[in-house]
Chains A and B, each alone.
Chain A
């Protein structure tokens, strides 16, 4: 593999500058068209899903109504949707931060997993009350995710290795590392239940103690609402403000939109971009801790269960804007919640997976189209001038 000289990273040749201006945004006037495209695309996806359901002997209308009942149909269903939305939204905000700096972090799945691992280590190995253990879990998870993304940042800004590649590969590394940690009794492997015999050990952590379990924001006979939902919304609001209205956000956007100009005006791409990657990894780690302490209660190698990927997609579909990420993440959360109920009514998990994927793709395709369109227009602007 050839390695570029470090200074080439933030100083691409002039002809490459449009290709590197990955921080470009859609024009506000395009957002209406975008909404229409998403609606049309969703229609097509639902049509395909209906055809699939019918062909496999199900009643498509009933299935859709199940999905609706499972996601928005009742207070309990809506809260389930919100609980699923929270980790997706937190990861999506991380994607926004990196994306605005022109960086594509596709390692959220791994950073989420590492965050969960760090949190479960604190939860199972550190004593003390909830007031000590819970904050420590979140801090450890943020640091874990940040360090994992930090490896990609160091590789990019010292050796010129694309963060797309390194973050992707770090996902596999995270999976192997966590599997190894969960397969050693002297490390984090735990019994399925207290006092279980050795033959019952699996590759998973122990259940976290009650003191490490997050209390619920709201709780009733048939519903729960996670604190993570509140955290996620606050994080989105803070990120939106920071990107739009702070000096840090300005330099972040400048780096993403025109790295050459950023360098000329004294903004260090390594500092701004590296920080952005580390923050995005920290947020994914945070989401991992929230998922552990609120829902999962134990870590397995499959712990991240695609929250990282869906968060990345949500950020991308939201054009890397934190406020738009809220409804997009909500839609993805609803697909998860609705799919859950559909499975419970006897449709096979595989078919439900396909339907969920169709809906996710339906929302992503218009995003790809819109970005190509924006890129083309920018090229034309430059050529015209």
Chain B
């Protein structure tokens, strides 16, 4: 991280936000803390912030509301990492739908949080997505397929759910976020690095061929993902955002 990144920690529990701040500072980050939405807005006005760590469960405006407001404000570009209390896929997703970039389930370890913070910053710096998936429009359509970004699965024209593995979903998401743009293997590897911090050692090529199979994309025809010799891959089909229930 070139300049020192500034992290704003918003949590109603004084001890937690203080301990987090201490830990992050010890690991070379700059931090500010806020106890609620009002303090968060005040902090945002005073100094530029590189990432906000936002607790979901807070009295008054909770984290989801704050995150949504943030996305509608001039600070919409600041990545948000949610601290959620419940470990359930539906709740996990809600945070992302509200515009959060990632989440960590409470209780978490500080080390885990730091890793996520770094991953989110790296991801957003490298390639900001050009389609903003929101609460209202969570379906990405391309070719004959639709990707449900909430449930993390594909839908074929007959509405059949075609499941994706975590790595496949992440790779597809990267392609869909940057359609018609050549992505190098290094970029793809960085962008798809599992947030689960799993030991992901498959090569991008293998993952691409798996995804092609999933999309029933013939490796020779290459309708969706085209190989660009010595450069990488390009997602060659236009992607559109569909409204809420589509």
B and A form one assembly: no
